[in-house]
Structure 1
């Protein structure tokens, strides 16, 4: 429906006009917007609109929001979120650790407030960030069993245990830029930087959550690290500009596409994992800080990483 598209878009509009400085302080504030919105009567909705004007653009009549508020699918998502997040502590120690680390490592970082909501936009927009706000779409974290029509490699990540790491990853995206280069290596190092920073912000998280794959597939990658590296070397993939390589080795998928019998044992996006290994090796072999890493080009990282896994 048209109002669902508008609801997703208005969040972006809010970022364009900027956020109020008074929202920024040392404490983490959590606003459960979906509770106020769906629990309001049609008359009470006026108060919600007045309280959060940036979520209700003037060009759309109140009837649009009444229809959205009473939509059966929206209400089902809201009720499910009430059950799933009944005892969930958004203001947890893990969140504070992520923000503390971001404040230490990243110039200009301000602790954002959290606003939870129901947003039927795309899954890539399940967390949207600005300098002072993080919008979290709870309908993308209702548990893997709630999404039977989605493939497992996607639905398995749609669980509340991923929320804090997704926050760390979203913060990382605000500080990592992609080099103006079409090579596969450039995209690999970009994602490697993202994952490295993600792990620095959220150091106690499991690798299976950070890399969004299973322990078994990560163990397979670790056991075959030399073979993976050698495959990229022998097939001259690092400096290849063929965009189809991104779908084979970077894009989210159930497995990576070496076009070999062992493909299904591999994690999807093996190029991101390999990019992380290169960045991690670079940081271990060079005395630089994260700020310097983020400002180093992909070729320098590749050359000076001294990354070369040993054959087992």
Structure 2
């Protein structure tokens, strides 16, 4: 099987690209009619413009959720102790330089705000109970990229400098670091939010269960961001996506012939859904996490073949039912 992975010929990729370009995407005006107006607080400014330690302490007191969820103030003996540690960071010349680079790259965040407003309009349309979290940006010193809870979202903008920038997240392999770019921010946030609605049966701990979990997450993200490229949702390059479609039958055959769907060994599961540069069990050319990609296809077919609402899909926790009733077959 490892020898059968085929990269699509140029004309295949060309036709694939043209097909995408021939169908311009437009967001639903009915959904956007109730688009919320967001405020994103740029706490990196408040932090690096602080004149003394007392102003750092005031920042912690003025933004208690940020202090609790992001800076983990409760793990310190006091707020004063955290403020003292933060002041040391504030004085670090490299951190100051990193902040200045972030400001150069993100002098404003108007487009990011607009994308989030559109995304939250869609989430609120499908899930009216959704409450928009407080949103902050920060410069973390490459300690935290994005934090998403039901109450707060914090975006570490230093992680999302251009891939060619001299400041890059340390100790990350290239196949992961390439996904830390501007266009991944909102898809990453929406995928994280999907977990609030992605009901799961913890008794189902097979490879199939994990595939379907990720498949539901990606399907949710695509439904909320219909005009966003799949590449920014799953983190594959367009060429990798085209190659996956070209080899879909081989991928499916590998899972079937090796009876992988009901595999429960966590080490085996990780080979197909965990972070990796490639899925060597199928081919050195097959991208990593290919089980997630296959799960996404299965979930897509399940919903479309049953005309389910997004809410009903996310509430369905029986992974085996989704698999059996998906009617999924590789495209020819």
What TM-score range do you get, normalising by the shorter chain? 0.7 to 0.9
Partner of 1:241, secondary structure, is: coil
Q: Residue 34 of structure 1 corresponds to which residue in structure 2?
A: 44
Q: Residue 299 of structure 1 corresponds to which residue in structure 2?
A: 320
Deviation at 1:90, TM superposition (A): 4.9
- Indicate whether 1:72 and 2:93 are aligned: yes
Partner of 1:264, secondary structure, is: coil
Partner of 1:210, secondary structure, is: helix
- Indicate whether 1:86 and 2:107 are aligned: yes
Tell me if structure 2 keeps the 8 A contact 1:249–1:257: no
Distance 2:275 2:256 in 1: 22
Quick one: higher RCO (CA 8 Å, sep 6+), 1 or 2? 2
CA distances 1:68-122 after superposition (whole Å, capped 9, x unpaired): 2112343232122112112442554322211111001124201223101122465
Tell me if structure 2 keeps the 8 A contact 1:250–1:271: yes
Distance 1:276 1:163 in 2: 20
Tell me if structure 1 keeps the 8 A contact 2:147–2:155: yes
Farther-moved stretch of structure 1 (65-74 vs 244-253)? 65-74
How many residues are aligned here? Answer: 282
- Segments of 5+ residues of structure 1 without an aligned counterpart are 1-24
Q: Residue 16 of structure 1 corresponds to which residue in structure 2?
A: none
Distance 1:74 1:118 in 2: 8
Partner of 2:276, secondary structure, is: coil
Q: Residue 237 of structure 2 corresponds to which residue in structure 1?
A: 214
Tell me if structure 1 keeps the 8 A contact 2:98–2:158: yes
Distance 2:60 2:302 in 1: 50
Q: Residue 9 of structure 2 corresponds to which residue in structure 1?
A: none
* 1:130 aligns with one of 135, 149, 172: 149
Partner of 1:114, secondary structure, is: strand
Farther-moved stretch of structure 1 (90-99 vs 212-221)? 90-99
- Segments of 5+ residues of structure 2 without an aligned counterpart are 1-34
Inter-CA distance 45–93: structure 2 relative to 1 (3 Å threshold): closer
Q: Cα RMSD (Å) of the superposition?
A: 2.2
Q: Residue 192 of structure 1 corresponds to which residue in structure 2?
A: 215
Tell me if structure 1 keeps the 8 A contact 2:142–2:159: no
CA distances 1:31-69 after superposition (whole Å, capped 9, x unpaired): 000111011111543443442244174344232221121
**TM-score, normalised via structure 1 length:** 0.83
